[in-house]
Structures are given as C-alpha cells and as structure tokens.
Structure 1
Amino acid sequence: MKNLIYIIPILFGMISCNEQVKQPKEWQFEKTIALDGINPIGITADGNDIFLSDGDHNRVLKVNTDGEILFEMEGFDRPMHLDFGKADLQITDKMTTSMLQERALFVPEYGRDSIAVMRDNKMDYLVINDSLDAPAGISVYENEIAIADFYTNRILYYNGSQWISFGKEGKALGDFYYPTDVQITADKIFVADAYNNRGQVFDKTGKVLTEFGQDQNFNAATGIYVSDSEIFLTDFENDRVLVFGMDYQLKQVLESGIDKPTDLMVIEDVLYITNYRNGEMIRYALKPIMEK
C-alpha cells in the first residue's frame, strides 16, 4: 500500500507535464511598430537582423526589433520580397563574372527585371540565362533558388544544377495570375498566387500538388511564409493574415493591427508582418490560448 501511495503522485506529475506540453497555442497581437518613412514590401532576416525592402523609395534597410533604422542600402529599382542565402551560381557586377562564395541578400528588382545580390554593401547581379519580367519574390534554400516572375505568370526555379520554369497565366490548378511571393522548403515550393486569391504548392519538378485558401475570400494574396508547422498567407485588400496547418486547413485569422499586409516572417515564436500603407511592422507572439 505504501508503494501505491508513492506511485500515485508521480503518475499525476507525469500527466500534468504531458498536459503542459500539449497545451494549445495561438498567435496573439503584441504591438504595432512604427517605421519612420518606410513603406515596407518585403521582410527577411539573417539571424536576428531584420531587413525590409522599401519599394517606394528604392532602398533596402536593416532595422532592429523596435523598427529603428540601423543602415540603409540605396540604388535599387522597386525592390520586392527578398531573402538571404547562398547558392552556387554566377554573379556579375556588369564588368566581371564570378561565383557566389558566401551568404548574401537576394533582392528582386521589379523595375529593373533583375536580381540584385548584396554582400558588404556591394551590389552584384545574379546571372540568369533567361529573361525576367518584374520579379516580385525570391526564395533561397540551400543550393536552390525560386523566383516569382510577376508578368510572365511563372516560377523560375534553380534546382542546384539547372534552371526550370513552370506555370502560365490562367485560373486552373497550376496556373498563376500574377505570383508575388515564393518559398522553397525541403521538398516543396509554395507560391502566393496573388490575383487567383490563393496559395499553391508544387513539387521540385514543377508539378502542382494542391491549392489552399481558395475558399477563404482572399483579395490579393501577396506574401507567403512557411514555418515547420504552419503556412501564413497575407490578404492585402482585406487587411488580414490567414494561418494554415500543414494539412492546408485554416487554423487562425489574424486581423488586429493589420492594414494592407505585404509580407511576413517568423523568428522563433514571434511573427512579424509588414503593413505597407501605414509604414508599420506588426508583432504577434505564439502564446497559450489560456493567456488571452
């Protein structure tokens, strides 16, 4: 009987720990961060350093988590959704051509039909044996690159050895109507299919796998971000962000503080969303539901 008395508290302790681990969480609004004179379109991070593209002022800025400008890079032509990474591809400064040897910031220039590559404040350009027409988004994953080419309604994808292109204008599954953002994961390519008002998912041969959000009344799905467990899609005209599970089912709708969102990213358990019109960065945190 004594042994039984000792075992019961231990079992209750184990159950309590399991309940804490399984406690459901959701994204909760924390604050609005004003950005001084910045109209952000794209957002990315290198570690804890945040970078924003300001297409209205043709620049890219590094800011801290309070939105203070740490430095800025000028000379772009309508920079869009940007990303950090490294891939074994050629770059050029218009005079000489070399291979990219280190991690860099990739900036699609919508107005120049090019991909700028920034290292130590030096601007080079990605060498592509193809023509771009208003590139709107880029994703770099290990030795892979995907570019959302807005006016050609396609994704241009480098798989580590060669470039392939997939997509065409249309509304059917696998078609695009102005893709604006893209993200590569370990086995898939996710696309913000802006004016088809949905997200789409492809394998790395360009075969379409599924669509999502098509029944959620989107009005311009402009930015996409994929974490380990969730997919985020901005709804620009409806002033909201929709969060989907990896089963493509809707989990949560975020609206507090959101006004013309263009892009977003997650750093640990913090979600940053760019508000284009008001020049803001909105912060959400992943917290247990019971804390609401």
Structure 2
Amino acid sequence: MRTLIYIIVAATTIISCTDKAAVPQDWQFEKVIELDGINPIGIAMDGNDIFLSDGDHNRVVKVDEDGSVLFEMEGFERPMHIDFGESDFEITDKVTTSLLKERALFIPEYGRDSIAVMRDNKMDYLVLQDSLDAPAAISVFEDEIAIADFYPNRVLYYDGKEWISIGTEGKELGQLYYPTDVQITENYIYIADAYNHRAQVFDKTGKAIAIIGADQKINAATGIYVTDNEVLLTDFENGRVLIFDMKHQLKQIIETNIDKPTDIFVQDGLMYITNYRKGQLIKYILKDITHE
C-alpha cells in the first residue's frame, strides 16, 4: 500500500509539473521608450546595457531603460546590425595586428565595407580574407562569425577554421536577395532575407534547410532574433513582428506601437524592438495567457 501511495504521489507531481510547463504564453506590449535624436537600426545588449546603432548619425549609443544616452561612440560610417562576442579573431588597428581575446562590440559599417571592433573604448577592424560590399549585420557565436553581405546577396561565415560564402542571388531555397540580418545558433545560421520577404535557415556547411514566413506577405524582413523556442522576424514595411515556433509555424503577430521596425533583441522574457522611423524602442514582455 505504501508503495502504491508513493507511485500516486510521484505521478501527481509529474502531471502537475507538465501542466505548469504547458501554460501558454505570448508577447504583450509593455511600453514605448522615446529616443531623443536617435534613429535606431540595430540593437545588442551586454548584460542589462542596451546598445543601439544610429546609422543616420554614424554612431553607436548606450542607453538606459528610459532611453537616455549614457555614452556614444562616433566615427562610424552607417553602422548597422551589431553584436557582442568574445573569441580569438584576428583584428587590426591598421598599424598592428593582434588576436581579440576579450569581449567586444562588433559593428558592421555599411558605408565603409568593414567590421569595426570596439573594446576598451578603442576601435579596431576585423581582418577578413574576402572583401565586403555594404555589410548589414554580424553575428558572433563562440568562435564563429557570420556577416550579412548586402549587395553580393550572401552571408560570409567563419566556422572557427575557415571562411565560406553562403547564398547566391535569387529567390529559390538557398538563394538570397539583399540579406540584412543574421544569427548563428548552436546548429544553424538564420538569415533575414529582406527583399525575398522571408527568413532562411542554413546548416553550418552552407546547406539551405528551410524557408520561414514565405506565406505571411512580409514586406522587407529586416531583423531576426532566435531564442531556444522562437524565431522572431521584423516586417519593416508592414509595421509588425512575426513570431514562429522552432518548426517554423506562425505563433503570434505583434503590431501595437510598431512602426518601421528594423531589429529585435530578446532577453529574460523581455523583447526590445527598434522603431527606426519614430526613433523609439518598443518593449514587450512574455506573459502567461490566462482565461477568465
């Protein structure tokens, strides 16, 4: 009898945990953060610090939760989708060459065809074995790098040992048309295939795996962010963010206060969306869906 009671208790506990894990959630609007004189294109976070690329003013700024500028870095030429990373990448200050071994901010310069690297308030440049033509985004994951190379319609990917070029111009699976954002995950490379109006997924050999959002009437897929559970994609001209599950099925569309979104960042149940045209950050929060 005692054994039976233990089994019943254990089963009840498992069911309870499963029910708790199965509580549905969605993203809900939290607030508008006004940005004075900033037209944000890209966003990255370092801990709780928010960094924005302001391509219209050739700078990167750090802001607080109220949108106040804490400091700014100037001297860039059209900075785009930025990312933080740390690994042993070769960089140069155009005088000396060294290996990057500490955390740094990587900044694609669309107008200079280069990748700036900011560390310790010093600007260096990433050393590449290939030339860029309007780099629009960068993703850094451990010892890997991916760069969305806008005009050549490709992504340059470094797997830790060598560089490969992913994509050619076109509309078929595996082809790109002006990629504007990219993110590396544990197993895949996700690309915002802007003017094919979709996202694409590649493995790390450069093989195309899937298309995301082709049936959603997206008009310029400019920004992408991938979590453990979701793929989030900005729909620039339609003023919305589309959220897909990991099987690439649409889960949710959010539109409240979103206008010309260019990028997204998700951290600890919070989502920040860059409103390029209005100079705003839009904050959403992930909440349980409750039913009356």
Q: Distance in 1 between matches of 2:171 and 2:14?
A: 52
1:88 and 1:160 in contact (8 A); partners too: no
Matches within 5 A, 1:116-265: 116-265=116-265
1:114 and 1:132 in contact (8 A); partners too: yes
One-letter code of the match for 1:267?
A: Q
Q: Does 1:67 align with 2:67?
A: yes
Cα distance, 1:290 vs structure 2 = 1.2
Query: In the TM superposition, what whole-angstrom CA distance separates every residue of 1:195-231 from its partner, at most 9, and x where no partner exists?
Result: 0000000000101001010000000000000001100
1:39 and 1:56 in contact (8 A); partners too: yes
Q: Distance in 1 between matches of 2:10 and 2:156?
A: 57
Query: In the TM superposition, what whole-angstrom CA distance separates every residue of 1:120-162 from its partner, at most 9, and x where no partner exists?
Result: 1100000101100000000000000000000000010110011
Q: What corresponds to 1:266 in structure 2? A: 266
Partner of 2:70, secondary structure, is strand
Cα distance, 1:275 vs structure 2 = 0.2
Return closer, same or farther for 1:217/1:13 CA change in 2, 3 Å cut-off. same
Cα distance, 1:89 vs structure 2 = 1.8
Q: What corresponds to 2:97 in structure 1? A: 97
Cα distance, 1:21 vs structure 2 = 3.1
Cα distance, 1:264 vs structure 2 = 0.3
Q: Extract structure 1 runs of 4+ deviating beyond 6 A.
A: 7-14
Q: Distance in 2 between matches of 1:266 and 1:252?
A: 15
Partner of 1:161, secondary structure, is coil
Q: Distance in 2 between matches of 1:155 and 1:20?
A: 40
1:261 and 1:274 in contact (8 A); partners too: yes
Q: Distance in 2 between matches of 1:147 and 1:12?
A: 49
Structure-2-length-normalised TM-score: 0.95
Query: In the TM superposition, what whole-angstrom CA distance separates every residue of 1:55-75 from its partner, at most 9, and x where no partner exists?
Result: 000000111122111110000
Aligned-residue identity in percent: 68
Cα distance, 1:267 vs structure 2 = 1.1
Cα distance, 1:18 vs structure 2 = 4.3
Cα distance, 1:9 vs structure 2 = 9.8
Cα distance, 1:189 vs structure 2 = 0.2
Q: Distance in 2 between matches of 1:36 and 1:81?
A: 20
One-letter code of the match for 1:229?
A: N
Q: Distance in 2 between matches of 1:274 and 1:291?
A: 31
Structure-1-length-normalised TM-score: 0.95
Q: Distance in 2 between matches of 1:8 and 1:176?
A: 55
Segment drifting more, 111-120 vs 163-172: 163-172
Q: Distance in 2 between matches of 1:11 and 1:232?
A: 36
Q: Distance in 2 between matches of 1:156 and 1:10?
A: 51
